[in-house]
Amino acid sequence: MTDNSHPRLRELHAQRESALRTWLVVNAALLGAIERLGQLRAAKAEALKARGISAHQLAQFRRWEQGAAKPTEYRTLASYAQHRHIIAPIDRRWDGVITTAQVEVDRATTDLAVATADLLSTMHAALASELTGLSVRRLSTIVRAVANTHSAPTTRTVQRP
């Protein structure tokens, strides 16, 4: 196809190459964002562990913070207060950057979905599947999700009496 001198075929070939390059770049960006988010979450977990907070203690603290019945026994209340003084500063330190990283992942996921839809607009699903390593079913799911979230808003005319 690249040796064909027909202008329309050359144009289609260029569109396919461009769509694939874009998809590869956006996919790499998503993988990088996911890796960064994982590293930040691991660092926060390590900070909690270094301060002596176990996963069980953290889970119990989170349940209490989310409205579960707070402890009534003095030892448990003291432990809760001690954990609050340890966990709250760690949350303040890490939650902002983790939220920012999650936004980056969400944005990159949307960008990849749009790039996937663009890729499929230039080639058959079987070829896109082979080039991206995604199944045809997964590609179709992505395209449907993009169509649902990026569809043009419908406008209704309201007649007033």
69 part of a folded domain: no
**Structural domain total, the chain:** 1
Contact 99, 40 (CB under 8 A): no
Could you tell me if 80 and 64 are in contact, meaning their C-beta atoms sit under 8 angstroms apart? yes
Q: What pLDDT, on the 0 to 100 scale, is given for residue 73?
A: 82
* Inside any domain, residue 120: yes
Interatomic CA distance for residues 116 and 135, integer angstroms = 12
Is pLDDT at 160 greater than 50 in this prediction?
Answer: no
pLDDT band at 151 (very low <50, low <70, confident <90, very high): low
Structure confidence at residue 150 as a pLDDT band (50, 70, 90): low
Alpha-carbon distances, residue 17 vs 6, 21, 64, 118, 123 (angstroms):
17, 6, 54, 11, 10
100-143 pLDDT, tens digit per residue, is 999 999 999 999 999 999 999 999 889 999 999 989 998 888 87
Q: What is the pLDDT of residue 94?
A: 96
State pLDDT tens for residues 14-73.
999 999 999 999 999 999 999 999 999 999 999 999 999 988 889 888 888 887 777 778
Q: Is residue 156 part of a domain?
A: no
Comparing 155 with 143, the larger pLDDT belongs to 143
Domain membership flag for residue 131: yes
Decide if 39 is inside a domain: yes
Q: Which residues contact 111 (CB under 8 A, 6 or more apart)?
A: 26, 29, 30
Is residue 106 in a domain?
Answer: yes
- Residue 8 confidence (pLDDT): 84
Query: What pLDDT shows up at residue 143?
Result: 77
DSSP assignment letter at 124: -
In a domain, 145, yes or no: no
Which domain, by its residues, includes 27?
12-51+77-137
Confidence of residue 152 (pLDDT cuts 50, 70, 90): very low
Helix (H/G/I), strand (E/B), else coil: 9:
helix
Per-residue pLDDT, 142: 81
Residue 43 falls within a domain, yes or no? yes
